[in-house]
Amino acid sequence: MSHLLLIVAIPVLATAYAAFVQHPRQTSLLYPVHSKRIRPQEKIITDCMTVWSEEGHLYYKSTTNDPVVCGIYIIAKPEQTVHVYFDYVDVPCNSGGLIAFVDGWELNGQLFPNENDHPKATEDRFYEICGSKRPKQVLKSSQNAALIQYRVPRRGNGFSFYVSFINNPTPCNILIQGMNEVYTLRNYGKQVNCSLTTLYPAEVKILSLGVGLGHGQKRNYELETGTIHKCENRGLPDFVQVGGGDGLGQLSVVDSICGTHSAPENMVETIMCGVTTVRMVSSGQFHNAVTVAVKPPEIEATPTLVCQH
């Protein structure tokens, strides 16, 4: 499938994302969006790159004959998923117009979550639209992030859609929208890979750890092993990777840890990269959980990992 590729560098998206984080929009309680008693938030899209975190009704109409590819990056709370319903589409196929709903975020051909951590095959994460026939179904994300990519090369054409946020009882992959937050990743006893990802350099501190060795799904006890390092190199099937990279699909790992440790770690990993990631790999043999604190680096912090921009 020849889906759209949004050719935008990570620093460009990070700038838009940082502005969004510093001046966040308050998520409104507007679901269902068709309620006659509550007027949904309305937004006319004018920028080629938009980060959006509200429920509401969004509109776009092309004002030029430029075939540029643009994107609306939608992010909800960690415990929510994104639902999108198109109520109007006027994007002629014969003019090269195209809209794509992406289950996750895409940048430079790289995806969040990456191909190994998402429950769907890559080709199933894209839904393409053109012409005037709108999809009847609601398009749904598997995590708290989704993307609308579009190319509308003819002036006067456009589209509109509703965004709703739905509670997710088992969040796995999370795109972080806060600058100083505490998060817990869980596998719920399943064979899945889950990750926390943010688009800025960050300090990562492990507050509690119950992953793999000493922490079991079919056991009625837990053994406080402390934090075990380099678990991936030891051949252990369950572990947490901490690292970063310059793209959504890149991860340079500074450490992989496992074990059971209920006390906060003194060690802090300082990831000086465009993307910071905490990734938990689970075999399904254990009920795994890791709680981490993530915040921007202190000015005097010594970097654990530095990426080349």
224 pLDDT more than 70: yes
CATH class of 178-306: mainly beta
Q: Please give the helix or strand (H or E) that residue 36 lies within, else none.
A: none
Q: Please give the helix or strand (H or E) that residue 44 lies within, else none.
A: strand 42-44
Q: Rounded to whole angstroms, what are the CA distances from 58 to 85, 152, 224?
A: 10, 15, 50
Token pair belonging to 298:
């202190």
Domain boundaries, the chain: 10-167, 178-306
Token pair belonging to 90:
């006027």
- Per-position b or e across 145-172, b if 16+ CB within 10 A of its CB: bbbbbbbbbbeebbbbbbbbbeebeebb
Determine the Cα–Cα distance for residues 44 and 57; give it in Å rounded to an integer.
9
Per-residue confidence (pLDDT) for residue 30, from 0 to 100: 32
Determine the Cα–Cα distance for residues 202 and 209; give it in Å rounded to an integer.
19
CA neighbor of 19 nearest in space, from 47, 40, 42: 47
CA neighbor of 260 nearest in space, from 212, 217, 207, 221: 212
Q: Do 10-167 and 178-306 agree at the fold level?
A: yes
Per-residue confidence (pLDDT) for residue 144, from 0 to 100: 98
Give the model confidence (pLDDT) of 170-223 as tens digits. 999 999 988 888 999 999 999 999 999 999 999 999 999 999 975 555 444 567
pLDDT band at 33 (very low <50, low <70, confident <90, very high): very low
Over the Cα atoms of the chain, what is R_g? 20
Pick the CATH number of 10-167 from 3.40.50.970, 2.60.40.420, 2.60.120.290, 2.40.10.10: 2.60.120.290
Determine the Cα–Cα distance for residues 84 and 147; give it in Å rounded to an integer.
10
For residue 27, what are the contacts with CB-CB under 8 A and spacing of at least 6? 53, 54, 55, 76, 77, 165
Token pair belonging to 183:
């998060």
For residue 111, what are the contacts with CB-CB under 8 A and spacing of at least 6? 102, 104, 105, 118, 122, 125, 248, 249
Per-residue confidence (pLDDT) for residue 34, from 0 to 100: 42
Give the model confidence (pLDDT) of 34-77 as tens digits. 444 445 688 999 999 999 999 999 999 999 999 999 999 999 99
